[in-house]
């Protein structure tokens, strides 16, 4: 019932495959190579290996991209849970800011014990989201559906609440913070310009005109929509 070991490298491959495929499609060799900072030839080699593991971790057919098996998905979610709990805990317990935590978590995620995981989870009160608003998989590795919509879909007259931001770049994160676009922030859409896709919003007292570069990276829940189906 216990899986033996997965190297750091294997864990990183699985994590990135998960992130590329969470919404159905399969991940390409090239896309993985780019995310992992590795050459495509190296990715092919690893994918063959992952598909040949005893319980196979991926389903892989030449030239067709990969998808995670149930086992691979569980292993990926285990790493993602580590990553996000660590981020939350670096912020809450050591005073890191949200633009500093990713890099640190990237290394710690591979070496903490399950005991450590349990302890920070408990110390944080079993949080459901990390500092960027990403959902933290449960201890049972369950992953609730993400119901957020990109801010780019918000139109004048409607308002919304920021759920999460999709960004790792520290400069972008600091910029979003300076705009007040952090999880929980209330937003009102004031104007939309169809030609350049600029959206004018109000956050608290402040007004901002945001381009797609930003509005596609901030995910919100529209106000006045049912939470459940």
Q: Check residue 96 for interaction with a copy of itself (CB under 8 A).
A: yes
Q: How many CA atoms lie within 13 A of 195 on its CB side?
A: 0
Among 9, 92, 198, 200, binds DNA (CB under 7 A): 9
Is 222 one of the binding residues for a copy of itself (CB under 8 A)?
no
Spatial CB neighbours of 227, under 8 Å, sequence gap ≥ 6 = 147
| CA atoms of 151 and 182, how far apart (whole Å) | 12
Count of residues interacting with a copy of itself (CB under 8 A): 18
Using rule CB under 7 A, residue 29 touches DNA: yes
Minimum CB–partner distance for residue 4 and DNA (Å): 11
Q: How far apart are CA 46 and CA 52, in angstroms?
A: 10
Return the one option of a copy of itself, DNA, Mn ion, none that residue 132 interacts with (CB less than 5 to 8 A, by type): Mn ion
Report what 1 binds from Mn ion, DNA, a copy of itself, none; CB cut-off 5-8 Å by kind.
Answer: none
191's tokens: 């104007």
Residue among 163, 160, 94, 76 nearest 128 (CA):
163
Q: Is 126 helix (H, G, I), strand (E, B) or coil?
A: coil
Q: How far apart (Å, rounded) are the C-alpha atoms in residues 182 and 47? A: 37
Tell which one of 22, 59, 71, 106 touches Mn ion (CB under 5 A). Answer: 106
Q: From residue 34 to residue 53, what is the string marking binding to DNA with x (rule CB under 7 A)? A: --xxxxxxxxxxxxxx----
Question: Which is nearer to Mn ion, 65 or 131 (by Cβ)?
Answer: 131
DSSP per-residue string spanning 144-182: PPP--EEGGG--TT-EEEEEEE----HHHHHHHHHHT-S
Between 52 and 94, CB nearer to a copy of itself: 94
Interface with DNA, residue 26, by CB under 7 A: no
Single out the residue of 95, 125, 184, 224 in contact with a copy of itself (rule: CB under 8 A). 95
Residues 154, 225 contacting (CB under 8 angstroms): no
Output the smallest distance, CB 10 to DNA, in A. 5
| Chain residues in the site for a copy of itself (CB under 8 A) | 93-96, 100, 103-104, 107-108, 110-113, 115-116, 119-120, 123
């Amino acid at each position: 019932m216990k899986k033996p070991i997965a190297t750091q490298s294997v864990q990183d491959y699985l994590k990135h495959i998960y992130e590329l495929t969470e919404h159905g499609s399969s991940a390409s060799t090239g896309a993985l190579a780019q995310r992992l900072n590795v050459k495509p030839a190296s990715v092919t080699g690893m994918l063959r290996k992952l598909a040949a593991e005893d319980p196979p971790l991926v389903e892989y057919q030449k030239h067709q991209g990969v998808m995670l098996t149930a086992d691979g998905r569980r292993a990926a979610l285990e790493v993602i849970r580590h990553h996000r709990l660590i981020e939350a805990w670096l912020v809450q317990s050591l005073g890191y800011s949200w633009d500093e935590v990713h890099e640190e978590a990237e290394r710690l995620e591979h070496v903490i014990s399950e005991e450590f995981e349990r302890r920070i989870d408990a110390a944080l009160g079993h949080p459901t989201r990390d500092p960027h608003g990403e959902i933290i998989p449960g201890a049972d590795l369950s992953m609730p559906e993400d119901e957020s919509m990109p801010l780019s879909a918000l139109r004048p007259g409607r308002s919304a609440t920021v759920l999460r931001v999709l960004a790792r770049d520290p400069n972008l994160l600091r910029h979003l913070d300076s705009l007040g676009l952090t999880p929980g922030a209330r937003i009102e859409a004031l104007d939309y310009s169809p030609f350049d896709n600029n959206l004018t919003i109000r956050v608290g007292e402040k007004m901002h005109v945001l381009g797609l570069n930003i509005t596609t990276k901030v995910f919100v829940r529209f106000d006045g929509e049912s939470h459940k189906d």
